[in-house]
Structure 1
Amino acid sequence: MSMNGEYLRVTPAELDRALKDPAWALDLAEEIQDAEEEHEPAPNGARHFTTHQTWDLLGFLLRRSAFPVDIVHGEEPLAADDWGYGPPQYLTPDRVRLAADTLHQTTYDQLIQGVDPSELTEAEIYPRIWDSSTSLEWARDLFTPLTEFFQGAASTGHAMLIWLD
């Protein structure tokens, strides 16, 4: 089984409810994931997004570039319950906005500039497939949609739930 980075846009009211009732939030996440699998909305209008197995590579690249928001793991604990591979975390609407603005100003080429795949191997970045320079391209196709997803959330004042599943 693989580990996937998962995101759910939530309104501030939904975040408040999720903080009080994490089981409700997990049900909401599963309901939205199921609904969006059927019709796959554009990233800027979607409520759910996945970075699949690229989450750790993206995290490494973003940390290396001193990205101001932890968009891979979240920054605040939502619950102690395990949602797959650990408990979910969240970003407030202000942190989502900062992430969206910074993502918009960042290119994937900037993120991978100067990175040697051996650094990824040495850092034990999941899923440990870093045997060639082309492996750095693995997350390129998800970077723009992830940026659009965050921009959509920021434009509507949404918070973000984040977990590994």
Structure 2
Amino acid sequence: MSMNGEYLRVTPRELTRALEDPEWLLDLAEEIQDAQEDDDETTPAEARHFTTHQTWNLLDFLLKRSLFPVDIVYGEQLLPEADDWSYGPPRYVTADRVRLAADALTRMTYDQLIQGVDHSELGAAEVYPQNWDSPASLDWARDLFTPLTEFFRAAASDGHALVIWLD
């Protein structure tokens, strides 16, 4: 079984309801994931759910190293009274912080993010899933970085918050 980084766009109204009823949010997340799985043509900008698959820990390492202003891998605030959704309870990022993250993501490239990183640093830091045997392994998250940026930009444009969890 693998650990995947998961994101759900929520409106301010949905976030308010989720803070009061975390079980409702889990049902909503599952409903949206199921609906999107049936639609292969949904772009990251149109999507309400996005996954970074197993690259979440690599992205976290790279973003923290670059002093990224928002925790977009784990989320910033714990969803109160929420049960574990697999590997812990979900967290969220408010709409204002999503906007800040989207702006910061838009101003960087993946090449800038990995600049000066040696693949051996990832092994030493025990970055999941610990397959950092060559310099090329740094490219593992490259194909997800642009879609992640598009997802954040769309969420920011719509005034959405994000719920984040590991599944």
Given the two structures, how large is their TM-score scaled by the length of structure 2? Answer: 0.98
* C-alpha displacement of 1:117: 0.7
Residue 57 of structure 1 corresponds to which residue in structure 2?
58
Q: RMSD of the TM alignment (CA)?
A: 0.6
Structure-2 separation of matches of 1:102 and 1:111: 12
**What is the letter of the counterpart of residue 123 of structure 1?**
A
Note if 1:133 corresponds to 2:118. no
**Secondary structure of 1:6's partner?**
strand
Note if 1:94 corresponds to 2:62. no
**What is the letter of the counterpart of residue 3 of structure 2?**
M
**Secondary structure of 1:39's partner?**
coil
* C-alpha displacement of 1:111: 0.5
Identity of aligned pairs, percent?
74
Task: Deviation per CA, 1:63-105: give whole Å up to 9, x if none.
Answer: 0000000000000001341001011000000000000000000
Task: Deviation per CA, 1:119-154: give whole Å up to 9, x if none.
Answer: 000000000000000000000000000000000000
**Secondary structure of 1:2's partner?**
coil
**Secondary structure of 1:17's partner?**
helix
* C-alpha displacement of 1:44: 0.7
Structure-2 separation of matches of 1:153 and 1:45: 9
Residue 45 of structure 1 corresponds to which residue in structure 2?
46
Residue 16 of structure 1 corresponds to which residue in structure 2?
16
Residue 103 of structure 1 corresponds to which residue in structure 2?
105
**Secondary structure of 2:38's partner?**
helix
Structure-1 separation of matches of 2:132 and 2:19: 38
* C-alpha displacement of 1:45: 1.1
Residue 32 of structure 2 corresponds to which residue in structure 1?
32
**What is the letter of the counterpart of residue 101 of structure 1?**
D
Equivalenced residues, count: 165
**What is the letter of the counterpart of residue 163 of structure 1?**
W
Give unpaired runs (5+ residues) of structure 2: none
**What is the letter of the counterpart of residue 131 of structure 1?**
D
**What is the letter of the counterpart of residue 62 of structure 2?**
L
Give unpaired runs (5+ residues) of structure 1: none
**What is the letter of the counterpart of residue 111 of structure 1?**
L
Structure-2 separation of matches of 1:131 and 1:124: 12
**What is the letter of the counterpart of residue 125 of structure 1?**
V
Residue 77 of structure 1 corresponds to which residue in structure 2?
78
